Amino acid sequence: MTTSVLVPTHRTTPAALARVMQAASLASDDVEVVIVDNSGDARKRDVVGGLAGPRVKVVCTDVTDGVANAQRAFDESSGQWIQWFADDDFILDSGMRHLAERARTFADGDGTVAACGGFLVESRAGIATLRYEGLDADRGVERLLRFVRTVGPNLLFYGVLKRDFVQTYMTVLSMLPFSLSYHDQVVSTLMLAVGRLRSIPQFVYLYDLGRWESREGSISVDRGYLNNAGLPPACDRILWLMCGLEGARLLRSRAFAGLIGAEGVPMAELWSLHNHAKLRADPRGDGLAGTPGDEAAAALRAKWCARASIEADEALDDVAGFLRDCGVAKADAYHEFWSGL
C-alpha cells in the first residue's frame, strides 16, 4: 500500500455524504481510504458504514474536535504517503491513480517531502485554477520564495505528503499552547524547509473556499479560532506578527536543525519579511474598537509596523507580554514553547 486517502468527516449534509462516498471510490490496490466520522449522527453512520471494504476502512467515533479526528484517521492508516480529503472537496479518480503510481517511484532519501498537481478553487464567483511552480527547487529558500509569491489560498496540505513529515507536523501541532487559523502557513514553511515538492500534472484537487472566500468570512473564521483558544479578539490585529515570529522560530530551531540545516536562517528571514508585509498591509481592526486589549494590540501592531522587520525573539517577548496583560492563562506557556524549540 503506497498511499492513504484520509477523510476526517463531521458534516451531515447530503453534499458531504456524496463527497465521502466519492472518496471511498478512490480505493485501489495502491490506495487505501480511511474514513473517520465524528458527527455522532446515527443515519450518517449507517451510510458510511456501508462503504467499508478491503481497501476502505470506516471508523465512527464520538463527537471530538477536528484535530483529534484527523489524528485518528492518521493512526488508522498505513500508507507511506498521505492524502488528506475534506468532505467538501473532490479528487478526480484518474488523477488519484496517477498520484499513487508516481508515489511508488519516490525513493527514500531523495529529498521529496510531498507532491501535488493542479487545484481547482471553487467559490461563488466561479472556478479558478492554482498551480504551484518551483517548489521542487534544490534550495529551501527558493522553494519558500516561490510559495509566498503564489497568489491564492494555502493548499499545500492537499498534495500527497510523506508519512514521516505528517507525523512530525502533527506532533508539533499537538504541542502548541493554542490552535490558530494560520498554523497551516507555519507548518507549510516547515514542509518547504524539509524537502522538495514534486509536480504531478495529471493530479487535480477541487477545493471549496467556503467562508474563506470573503474578508468577512475569513475574519470570522480567524476570530473563531481565537475564541476557541481563549484569546481576546484583539489578537486579530497581530495575527501576522505571531505567524511571522512562530515560523521564524521554527525554522531557526535546534529541534529541527537536523531536518532543515543551514538554510533555516535565510528562510526565517524571508518568512519574517513576508509576514511583516502582511502585518503592515492590513490593520484587521474591523469591529474591534472598545474590545478588551484592543488599544494595546493596536499599539503593538504599530510598533512592529514601524520596524524594518520582525525580530522573532523581541516579538515573542512582546506577544507573550500582551497575552499576559490580557489575562490569558497560557501566556507563559506560549513563550516557553516558542523560546524552547
Q: Where are the domains of the chain?
A: 3-212, 213-339
Spatial neighbors of 143 by CB under 8 A, at least 6 apart, are 134, 135, 136, 137, 192, 196, 197
47 has a pLDDT exceeding 80: yes
Which is the CATH superfamily of the domain at 3-212? Spore Coat Polysaccharide Biosynthesis Protein SpsA; Chain A (3.90.550.10)
Q: What is the pLDDT of residues 286-340, one digit of tens each?
A: 999 999 999 999 999 999 999 999 999 999 999 999 999 999 999 999 999 999 9
Separation of alpha carbons 179 and 190, rounded Å: 17
Computed over every residue of the chain, the mean pLDDT equals 93
Distance, C-alpha 240 to centroid of its chain: 15
Separation of alpha carbons 269 and 263, rounded Å: 10
- Enter the C-alpha cell of residue 197: 515538492
CB 99 within 8 A of CB 77: no
pLDDT, mean of residues 114-123: 89
Alpha-carbon distances, residue 294 vs 132, 258, 277 (angstroms)? 37, 40, 21
Q: What is the pLDDT of residues 245-282, one digit of tens each?
A: 999 999 999 988 988 989 999 999 999 999 999 999 99
